[in-house]
Amino acid sequence: MDWHEKDQVLAGRNPVLEALRAGRRLKKVIIAEQARGPQVKVLESLAREQGVPVEYWARRDLDRYATTPKHQGVIALAEPLATVTTEELLARARGENPLLCLLDGVEDPHNLGSIIRTAEVAGAHGVILPERRAAGLNATVLKASAGAANYLPVAMVKNTVRGIEELKAKGCWVIGADRDGEDLWATTFDLTLPLCLVLGSEGKGLSRLAKEKCDLLLSIPMWGRVSSLNVSVAAGILLYEVLRYRRKRPEG
């Protein structure tokens, strides 16, 4: 198999299908010899339309390369997901006020994938990761994102503080999620402005320097005995509160 250590092995019918639909560059699609069904036919058709080689292997051989035993008889060899710059994320807004997520210390690939999925569905323009203390864009992230990582661009910055400073310089307001912040439901801040939401890790939350650099800190109301939310859940609540606000009060 023509495999490079930086390449990603996508396993499962849906991950491979979403990669093809998104036009992601695949080196080859490998299908188990006995695999059948409508999805397999669509996979074969899309791959050939895009000039992606399709190979048929015995399942035992395919099992050796799959990242999970639940590959459903389909894997693909893909080039790594490319990252972009913050400038490219802002340009993607195309006349809308940007809505971005910057993740400070989110190292769990399942959480990162879930956040990318929610951000894409909510209409955000991208996710930003620091070079260190962040989950990479691997196959686990792609699967957890339900394919959204193929569509929503991700930018890399040197570190969280540098990313915040870059965004501010480009006209973005930066809002951090923190339990000691202003009540999300009581804030009078105009959420139609160009925004970047900053979320920290589950264990430590936002770093001290990140908090200091944010324009505003917001807290999500909680009444139970548990004092924190999963970071991907918190991201969903914040994103959809911004979306609700923007639909209620359009820009301008």
Superfamily of domain 86-248: SPOUT methyltransferase, trefoil knot domain (3.40.1280.10)
What's the pLDDT at 2?
56
Fold (topology level) of 8-78 = 60s Ribosomal Protein L30; Chain: A; (3.30.1330)
Q: Which residues contact 163 (CB under 8 A, 6 or more apart)?
A: 86, 102, 128, 130, 157
What's the pLDDT at 59?
87
What's the pLDDT at 212?
96
Residue ranges per structural domain of the chain: 8-78, 86-248
240 torsion bin: left (phi>0), alpha (psi -120 to 50), beta (else): alpha
pLDDT at 252 over 80: no
